[in-house]
Amino acid sequence: MNEAKRSIPFIVATAGHVDHGKSALVKTLTQEDPDRLPEEKRRGITIDLGFAQWLLRDPENPSTQYDLGIVDVPGHEDFVKNMISGVGAVDLGLLVVAADDGWMPQTEEHFQILEYLAVPNLIVVMTKSDLAEGEADFVMEMIREELKATRFEEAPIIATSTKTHEGFDALGNAVSDILKRQPAHLDLGKPRLPVDRCFSVKGMGTVVTGTLIGAPFTTDQSVCVQPGNLQTKIRSIQHHHAQQEAAAPGMRTALNLPGTTLRKEHAFTNTSVGRGQVVTIDGLGENTTCLDAIMERTSRFDKPGNPINGCIKSGTRIRVHIGSDNIPGRIHFSNHEPMPPGSRAAARIRLERPMFAVEGDRFVLRDWSQQGTLGGGRIWDADSSHRKLSHLEQQTYLNHLSASSGDAHDYLRARLARDHGIQLDTFAAKGQWTAKQLAREAAKLVKAKQAIKRSDWLLDTKWWNTNLTVMADHVILFHQTHPDKPGIPLETLRREFGTLLPSLDLLPMVLRELGKEHAIEQAGECLCHQSHSVTLPDRLAPLADQILKELSQTPNEPPARKHYDTSQDAGDAIRCLIRMNKVVEIGTDLLVLQSVHEDYLHKIKNHLTTQGPSTVSSLRQVLEIPRRIAIPLLEKLDKEGQTIREGDLRKWKAI
Ligand SMILES: Nc1nc2c(ncn2[C@@H]2O[C@H](COP(=O)(O)OP(=O)(O)OP(=O)(O)O)[C@@H](O)[C@H]2O)c(=O)[nH]1
Ligand SMILES: [Mg+2]
């Protein structure tokens, strides 16, 4: 057969009750025995995850080959936790049901787990068809009954036998039929490899394996292992025992990580790696012990696979399975009501040790003693420790996402409604969406006038406009109550409104917008309305007269501002004089009379427009002022755009 031109990686996982023929199915499909442990061979059951590669040609398009990484899971009820750690990023589930046994407790439990993890495709493989004894149709009927009213109602059911080889062509066709419609794994620029196996190879050191998602990994790439923030480098990469320069998302991937050791159980050290940890890159978020989620419980509580059918009380100790990890913790519901089967609820999970998780990730909850699966859900706040779950904004945020499809658009809108302002760059680094996807969704919100963009901030339009109006009203109210003051001190505004803003970095934008939309301008350290004119209160009149008198006595040699500004009243008098256009502030420490300032400006303009660009010292001579005034005066004019500085020279703006 000709070489396939395209090889598309996908992950396929088996699922189903113990002894129903999952491993035998994988062996027939791939000629590899997924059971590798001596104990598995001895007992004839699968204990831990097994892996194999299935290269499947698309029969309709032989130039396309599916490079399927098969994860074979154990069916025994004691090893469900191992099963979950293998099915985190699966494109297709093969739910195995033995024809001589039918739908059994772990068929049901595994089925629910695949549902909670939102596995996109399912094929039911009815194995051991050679043992069906004329009951095959009936068993198929029963299986179809179990699938009713689920996402997989229409899933193919294919009868196979590893003894007679019946059904394997049909199975291959069904798999390729599904996968040709399945989108390839995306490169989000955010690689994550939840470690599901970790072992040591002589001469190489530690090797970890897992299903790579989010972005490729390449040889020599610097990576970190979370939780633990262990920094290392990829020395080499293998994909199903073949050495590769790079691995793509959706590939079973083995990484050789130099300088790391095998972790013993939960004894985390700063060099050790083990199942449950995630190989990733820096900057994709922090480890967390507190997360908020939308949790759901199936209504299939009467099925035999779910021994834990009752309500879950708020505060119950549980185990959270996420990626390849499982961590003990407690679940709390916002209304403190117990959560019945067949419902959804906003929940907070407090973990007993840190985990690396990303918003949008799905998880499964099992009871503390690992008797059964309680439910599943999706993380929507990967670090909620600084918020209250009962807080209205957090409730609204979670409920909004609960009722949505949870795509990039819904996520961005919900976050904007909760946080009011989002700094897109840092925001995009976390979560499951690319900066490009989020920028596209942000542009849509801006177009619909639901958001406005200011530098890299996306702001909720209604919230932004309301706050600007409130601030502008506050300035006007201040004028009414303090007619003698030039305006509200910026510091007061910052104190009173700073907590409204998601970041104080937004303050300069607020000030600009107040000027543009509300005629509020900044005068020195104050904010005032353009129409506000200061009336000098009687108590300040003698001080103001004194300042004006002194300034006019030595107009070109004014004393430093601190010479006058010695009391609250003196400061108020100076601010009044500035607002009344009687004196001008040059730099932070100099005042000159308005008339003197006008004279300077006139002379500078005249000199620069007739003599051309000039140095500070020639301008000083024209103005007959010392350097101490000339420098801040020219810097002020530069800032205002009246003059332009070019090296040592100044030129007039109009030239
Ligand atoms: N007759 C018959 N026996 C089968 C078939 N497939 C598997 N078996 C037998 O069923 C037994 C269990 O098969 P496994 O493949 O180990 O079952 P499993 O689902 O992987 O079991 P666990 O991994 O322990 O859950 C073995 O003795 C197989 O030889 C089949 O198609 N026909
Ligand atoms: Mg097995």
> What angle in degrees, to the nearest 10, is found between the helix axes of 490-497 and 461-481?
130
**Structural domain boundaries of the chain?**
6-179, 193-280, 286-402, 404-535, 541-652
How far does Cα 373 stand from its chain's mean position? Answer: 28
What confidence category does residue 571 fall into, taking pLDDT thresholds of 50, 70 and 90? confident
How far does Cα 306 stand from its chain's mean position? Answer: 33
Q: How much is the mean pLDDT over the chain?
A: 90
pLDDT in tens, 450-490: 999 988 899 999 998 998 898 889 888 888 888 767 788 88
Dihedral-angle region of residue 219 (phi above 0 means left; psi in -120 to 50 means alpha; beta otherwise): beta
Mention the CATH class of domain 6-179. Answer: alpha beta
Q: Which ligand lies nearest the alpha carbon of 24?
A: 1
- Identical fold at 193-280 and 286-402? yes
What confidence category does residue 505 fall into, taking pLDDT thresholds of 50, 70 and 90? confident
| CA–CA gap between residue 190 and residue 438 (Å, rounded) | 14
Ligand 1 pocket member 22 (CB < 6 A): yes
Tell me the torsion sign for CA atoms 133, 135, 139, 144. Answer: positive
Position 512 pLDDT exceeds 50: yes
Ligand 1 pocket member 519 (CB < 6 A): no
Which atom of ligand 1 is nearest the CA belonging to 160?
A: 31
How far does Cα 313 stand from its chain's mean position? Answer: 30
Q: How many angstroms separate the alpha carbon of residue 346 from the centre of ligand 1?
A: 41
| CA–CA gap between residue 223 and residue 247 (Å, rounded) | 14
Q: Please indicate whether residue 499 or residue 229 has the higher confidence score (pLDDT).
A: 229
> Taking a C-beta distance cutoff of 8 angstroms, is the pair 592, 577 a contact?
no
| CA–CA gap between residue 357 and residue 373 (Å, rounded) | 20
Q: Which ligand lies nearest the alpha carbon of 98?
A: 1
Give the three-state DSSP class for 390.
coil
pLDDT in tens, 381-425: 998 988 999 899 999 999 999 988 888 899 999 999 999 999 888
The CATH fold assigned to 286-402 is: Elongation Factor Tu (Ef-tu); domain 3 (2.40.30)
What confidence category does residue 3 fall into, taking pLDDT thresholds of 50, 70 and 90? low
Model pLDDT, residue 655: 45
The set of residues, in sequence order, having a beta carbon less than 8 Å from that of 583 and lying 6+ positions away, is: 547, 548, 551, 574, 577, 591, 592, 593, 594
| CA–CA gap between residue 542 and residue 568 (Å, rounded) | 14
Position 447 pLDDT exceeds 60: yes
Model pLDDT, residue 364: 97
Give the three-state DSSP class for 111.
helix
Q: How many angstroms separate the alpha carbon of residue 46 from the centre of ligand 1?
A: 10
Ligand 1 pocket member 41 (CB < 6 A): no
Q: How many angstroms separate the alpha carbon of residue 22 from the centre of ligand 1?
A: 6
Ligand 1 pocket member 82 (CB < 6 A): no
Ligand 1 pocket member 45 (CB < 6 A): yes
CATH 3.30.70.260 fits 193-280, yes or no: no
DSSP string, 425-493: HHHHHSSSS-HHHHHHHHHHHHHTTSEEEETTEEEEHHHHHHHHHHHHHHHHHHHHH-TTSSSEEHHHH
Ligand 1 pocket member 106 (CB < 6 A): no
Q: How many angstroms separate the alpha carbon of residue 73 from the centre of ligand 2?
A: 6
What whole-number percentage of the chain has pLDDT above 90?
65
pLDDT in tens, 522-551: 877 788 888 777 777 888 889 999 999 999
Q: How many angstroms separate the alpha carbon of residue 72 from the centre of ligand 1?
A: 12
> Taking a C-beta distance cutoff of 8 angstroms, is the pair 312, 376 a contact?
no
CA angle 248, 251, 115 (to 5 degrees): 120
Q: Which of 59-68, 99-108, 330-339, 493-502 has the lowest mean pLDDT?
A: 493-502
Which atom of ligand 1 is nearest the CA belonging to 73?
A: 23
> Taking a C-beta distance cutoff of 8 angstroms, is the pair 209, 196 a contact?
yes
Ligand 1 pocket member 334 (CB < 6 A): no
Give the three-state DSSP class for 353.
strand
> Atom 7 in ligand 1: which residue has the minimum CA distance?
21
Position 429 pLDDT exceeds 80: no
Q: How many angstroms separate the alpha carbon of residue 223 from the centre of ligand 1?
A: 40
CATH 1.10.10.10 fits 541-652, yes or no: yes
Give the three-state DSSP class for 608.
helix
| CA–CA gap between residue 332 and residue 182 (Å, rounded) | 36
pTM for the full predicted model: 0.80
Model pLDDT, residue 306: 60
